[in-house]
Structure 1
Amino acid sequence: MELKDVDLNLLVVFDNLLRQGTVSGAAKTLNLSQPAVSNALARLRTLFGDPLFVRSSKGMLPTPLAEELAEPVAYALESLQTALSHKVSFDPLRSVRAFRIAMTDIGEVHFIPPLMGALGDRAPGVTVTTVRNTAVDLAAEMSQGKIDLAVGHLPELGTTFFQRRLFRQRYVCLFRPGHAMDKKTVSMRDFEAAEHIVVTAAGTGHARVDEILAQHGVQRKIRLRVPHFVALADIIATTDLVATVTLTFAERCARYFGLRYVKHPFALPEIQINLFWHARYHRDPANQWLRDQFVGLFSD
């Protein structure tokens, strides 16, 4: 016998006949007519090739096969009912969930310290792993639940993803104190006369900056290209190189490295930083909770 051949309603009738011991009792419990229960019993007998219940002065007595089936059928029905009735929830104070979030290294600088500080109080057992969005097939990994959220400038994530804007960022020029550009305003002539460091980080919106400057004929003396932001502040602090970076990153560099920044002389468009999640997990309580943390901590 295959499971696909079994009508689940028949097993419900079987379980109630065992519990009630009479057709009338089972009918009352199930809110069915007695003929309907009798018909279901007839189908069960045909299905199992066994009487299952025999009449006696004490009601319907189960046959040995019915007694053998009683426990596994009751367990299966109870498990199914529990699953159907259970509302999935997420308790951050008790959870040991391991979240994976896709972001860039500059994203780690901005998001991770405040996020981990908040999780220490709100979800002490939760852990976080960051993933580079260029190191994986991001859309596929998120659709399979292997990555919970992605944050950044990610126009490649399509219609199967929800997104929420966190904030917009303008660009500034970053340099060491005492640099020739260390003044209230800088001109395009100042900008083009300086020597530059460029971050060629894949999967960020910063590559677009280079394209825009090139399209408008802005000439830069690029002395150094690096693939990430991790050493940028150290390099700028010890050289005369200038970097075009977001205001948030520049503010952090000024705070921790003593660097200076000034409004960019070229009218670069602002970059929008969004939070992304796959449609499959839109109503997942754990995913919703983590999204709420990002919105609460970082949304403007």
Structure 2
Amino acid sequence: MELHDIDLNLLVVFNELLRQRRVSAVAEKLGISQPAISNALNRLRRILGDELFLRTSKGMIPTPFAETLAEPIGFALGAIYNTLNATTTFDPASSSRTFTIAMTDIGEIYFLPALMKRLGKIAPNVTISTVRRTSETLQEEMETGRVDLAIGFIPDLKTGFFQRRLFRQRYVCIFRKGHAVAKAGMTLAAFREAEHVSIVAEGTGHGMVDDVIQRAGVARNIRLRVPHFVAVGHILQTTDLIAVVPQAYATRTLAPFALEQAACPVKIPDIVINVLWHAKNHREPGNQWLRQLVFEEFSL
């Protein structure tokens, strides 16, 4: 097959069907009729000799052959889009661009103070907008360019993404000053007996903490579950609850909330904090500038 044998628009339809899984949604996104989408799909089926998508109660499901085409076609379309829309330079001193970064509440606590201070000096008119997304939603948002970067522990973002390591960190136990475990020590027995606050952090890699502790055969006395980290310092400050948190969160939380930390008696694997971006933005000058800035400011 030669490139002149295929219409680029057919690949655009293919790529959107992979994302949307419904002809009606693709038609709405591309601003053309549903029959036109069906016609484009039929043309592509004839060219490639495969059904590509099968109609089910859950929408249009890609065939195994279509799944093998997904990454290279997505990458190629992203490269074309980036080339046609790229600017040759990015001047942070004069730019008034808004960048959207996906991060958790830990990320906001740990990264934003230093990042905004640095931007105030070298890019005074650049604006940062943060969002929280599940890994599934985040992939789509970054593929479409609505999110520029993601920072954190996000092991599910792989195909079509680049990443650069910022640092590794361990999990620790934190609790208020004067807590019984501060004097007796955070032994495994003390860990079992203590009352815990568990942080769900849905859609991030931090959910593995509960699984690791359970697999170790340790039953925690969980008195409270919260969906995110932001309130944990306030909670621990006035209770006898303890929490297992990443070191980055502990670093920013101990002093403001009069807390202490101890090594966790259950072995929890270290995690890697990365800055991630989609292939379509790999050579985009503004994205390159921002991720290099993040790396220079926070890599250890």
CA distance in 2, matches of 1:244, 1:185: 15
| Residue 177 (structure 2) pairs with residue 177 (structure 1) | yes
Partner in structure 1 of residue 113 of structure 2: 113
Partner in structure 2 of residue 255 of structure 1: 255
Change (3 A) 1:188 1:286: same
Contact 2:162 2:276 in 1 (8 A): yes
| Residue 80 (structure 2) pairs with residue 93 (structure 1) | no
Partner in structure 2 of residue 281 of structure 1: 281
Partner in structure 2 of residue 138 of structure 1: 138
Aligned residues: 217
Change (3 A) 1:188 1:96: same
CA distance in 2, matches of 1:295, 1:248: 16
Partner in structure 2 of residue 203 of structure 1: 203
CA distance in 1, matches of 2:120, 2:135: 28
**What are the residue-to-residue correspondences of 1:103-252 with 2, within 5 Å?**
103-134=103-134, 137-183=137-183, 185-252=185-252
Which segment drifts farther, 158-167 or 130-139? Answer: 130-139
DSSP-derived class of the 2:233 partner: helix
1:254-282 deviation per Cα after TM superposition (whole angstroms, max 9, x unaligned): 12111111111111110111111011111
Cα deviation for residue 135 of structure 1 reads 8.8
Contact 2:196 2:243 in 1 (8 A): yes
Task: Give me the TM-score of the superposition, normalised by structure 1.
Answer: 0.69
DSSP-derived class of the 1:181 partner: helix
Match for 2:181: what amino acid?
M
DSSP-derived class of the 2:254 partner: helix
CA distance in 2, matches of 1:193, 1:137: 38
CA distance in 1, matches of 2:248, 2:104: 14
Change (3 A) 1:211 1:135: closer
* Structure 1 residues without counterparts, runs of 5 or longer: 1-82
Match for 2:198: what amino acid?
V
Contact 2:195 2:242 in 1 (8 A): yes
Contact 2:200 2:225 in 1 (8 A): yes
Partner in structure 1 of residue 59 of structure 2: none
1:74-109 deviation per Cα after TM superposition (whole angstroms, max 9, x unaligned): xxxxxxxxx99x961000000000000011111111
CA distance in 1, matches of 2:215, 2:165: 27
CA distance in 1, matches of 2:197, 2:206: 13
* Structure 2 residues without counterparts, runs of 5 or longer: 1-82
Cα deviation for residue 205 of structure 1 reads 2.3
DSSP-derived class of the 2:118 partner: helix
Contact 1:184 1:262 in 2 (8 A): no
Report 1 or 2 for greater relative contact order, CA contacts < 8 Å, sequence distance ≥ 6: 2
Match for 1:124: what amino acid?
P
Match for 2:89: what amino acid?
S
Return structure 1 stretches of 4+ with deviation > 6 angstroms: none
Q: Percent same amino acid at aligned positions?
A: 52
Structure of greater Rg: 1
Contact 1:104 1:203 in 2 (8 A): no
CA distance in 2, matches of 1:116, 1:166: 18
CA distance in 2, matches of 1:197, 1:155: 24
CA distance in 2, matches of 1:184, 1:131: 41
Change (3 A) 1:257 1:182: same
Match for 1:270: what amino acid?
D
CA distance in 2, matches of 1:268, 1:182: 21
Task: Give me the TM-score of the superposition, normalised by structure 2.
Answer: 0.69
Contact 1:176 1:236 in 2 (8 A): yes
Contact 2:169 2:270 in 1 (8 A): yes
Match for 1:170: what amino acid?
R
Match for 2:156: what amino acid?
E
Match for 1:263: what amino acid?
A
Partner in structure 1 of residue 297 of structure 2: 297
